[in-house]
Amino acid sequence: MGALVTVVTHDDLAQAQSYADELAGWIYERRRDWQLEMPDTRTALRLAHDRDRYPVVFADRNDNTGGGAPGDSTGMLRTFLDEQLSDACILYIVDPEAVRACNDAGLGASIPLLLGGKSTPEQGPPVSLHAQVVAISDGQFQYTGPMYAGLIGNLGPSAWVRQDGVHVLVVSTREQPYDTAFAESVGLDPKRMRYVGVKSAARFRAAFSRWAQQIHVVSESSVHSPQHVRSQRLGRRVYPLE
């Protein structure tokens, strides 16, 4: 957290310090400008409907697995279901237990499923579904890029489940959706969806911003939510925590 200023001069330490102080002051005076406002999914949905351009991508930044989050928060899924969305998908929810239930039931089965929210209460409670098992995968696929193009990925045993118009890719390994390759490997094309939820902070943009008509960064309950962050050994005041 925070900002770093580096100044290079012709062997003039006083001048370097002066310019560094000036730049640091400029940054600190604008510290509120660097804070991204993140609505919850329900609020972002209203904004998306006002703009009326699709597909729209919702990035669940707090549950970004690349930042160490468990990947099983349920706030976005619950909102998609409550709003009775059609042509909506979420990439991905990490839940090996749910994947095993899908494998046991078999392809095409309709089963009761408790999805997500199993890692810690901060991720939100599990969502109760009566879901159809649309596809099952061993999790291996090839990235199409731009990131990792051509490399082989493995999300572990995985399943595509659907309740009404909401589709979820459930995986066993924590990973961000860098592109749409894994979804397409099981037959789900997010580009043909109207609403796409991703558990990622930024890296999804390289692939998704090519076709998304809107992108909204949203905040749902997670271990990374500001109200759940407790720092005990900072040794200094850090904005915006203090």
pLDDT of residue 37: 82
End-to-end Cα, the chain, rounded Å: 13
Tell me the percentage of the chain whose pLDDT exceeds 70: 99
Domain ranges in the chain are 1-35, 41-226
Peptide bond into 146 cis (omega under 30): yes
For residue 115, pLDDT over 70 is answered with yes
pLDDT band at 235 (very low <50, low <70, confident <90, very high): confident
Q: At residue 1, does pLDDT exceed 70?
A: no
Tens-digit pLDDT profile for residues 65-99: 999 999 999 999 999 999 999 999 999 999 999 99
